[in-house]
């Protein structure tokens, strides 16, 4: 009882102490060398082919699937530089599979409004495409944006949208330079992002 009586005044004092305003939630600060890993899974929407004597044409490809792994390192709190390795597949009307494997460097800028993150990015690099026994190596540009919800300082979950621009340039005489085409595709994917 003696010890219990000694605790009562302490409880009373705690209850009388004014409670300060709640501190707003904030994102962790990232600096040079902080890193992130992301895994993305989603769908590939073939949009159109441009160029050549026929101009803009339908791709005649089916809706496809895609996946990618990404690593990035922060240069400061808002900018990261990294690399992404992906893969996508679609089918022609006669059931042949078109595979694309882009390997891109990726520069991202992060906008933040707690608990959401809005990275905008540009990827550029090499796209390896294969249709049956034909393999091509072409450049690729991938501008896009993401929307993430921060579960905690380490994990964020969200959705990506990226535009794939894949030119296939020919210099002739076979195939002639007039046969150059520009593939246009849309990536929509779900993403899990881990910061460390």
Instruction: Please check whether residue 111 lies inside any domain of the structure.
Output: yes
Instruction: Please check whether residue 162 lies inside any domain of the structure.
Output: yes
CATH of the domain at 129: 2.40.160.20
Cis peptide preceding 78, ω within 30 of 0: no
Residues 6 or more apart whose CB falls under 8 angstroms from that of 179 comprise 52, 170
Count the domains in the chain. 1
Q: What is the pLDDT of residues 52-102, one digit of tens each?
A: 777 788 888 999 999 999 999 999 989 999 999 999 999 999 989 999 999
Instruction: Please check whether residue 68 lies inside any domain of the structure.
Output: yes
Scan for tokens 């209850």, then name that residue.
Answer: 15
Q: What is the pLDDT of residues 131-170, one digit of tens each?
A: 988 999 999 999 999 999 999 989 999 999 999 999 987 7
Instruction: Please check whether residue 58 lies inside any domain of the structure.
Output: yes
**What local confidence, expressed as pLDDT, does residue 30 receive?**
80
Instruction: Please check whether residue 12 lies inside any domain of the structure.
Output: no
Phi, psi of 187 (to 5 degrees): -100, 130
- State in Å, rounded, how far the first CA of the chain is from the last one: 51
Instruction: Please check whether residue 5 lies inside any domain of the structure.
Output: no
Instruction: Please check whether residue 1 lies inside any domain of the structure.
Output: no
Q: Provide the β-strand partners of residue 126.
A: 103, 139
pTM score, whole prediction: 0.78
Range of the domain at 145: 34-195
Question: Strand ranges (DSSP E) for the chain?
Answer: 35-50, 64-74, 79-91, 97-113, 116-131, 134-150, 155-168, 181-195
């Amino acid at each position: 009882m003696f010890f219990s009586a000694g605790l009562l005044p302490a409880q009373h004092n705690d209850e009388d102490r004014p409670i300060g305003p709640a501190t707003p939630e904030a994102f962790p600060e990232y600096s040079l060398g902080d890193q992130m890993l992301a895994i993305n899974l989603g769908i590939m929407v073939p949009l159109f082919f441009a160029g050549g004597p026929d101009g803009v044409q339908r791709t005649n490809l089916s809706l496809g699937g895609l996946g990618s792994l990404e690593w990035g390192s922060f240069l400061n709190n808002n900018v990261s530089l990294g690399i992404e390795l992906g893969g996508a597949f679609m089918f022609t009307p006669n059931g042949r599979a078109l595979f694309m494997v882009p390997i891109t460097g990726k520069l991202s800028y992060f906008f933040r409004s707690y608990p959401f993150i809005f990275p905008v990015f540009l990827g550029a690099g090499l796209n390896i495409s294969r249709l049956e026994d034909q393999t091509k190596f072409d450049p690729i540009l991938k501008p896009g944006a993401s929307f993430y919800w921060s579960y905690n300082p380490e994990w964020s979950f969200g959705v990506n949208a990226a535009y794939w621009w894949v030119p296939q340039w020919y210099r002739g005489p076979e195939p002639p330079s007039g046969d150059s085409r520009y593939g246009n595709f849309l990536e929509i994917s779900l993403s899990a992002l881990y910061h460390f």
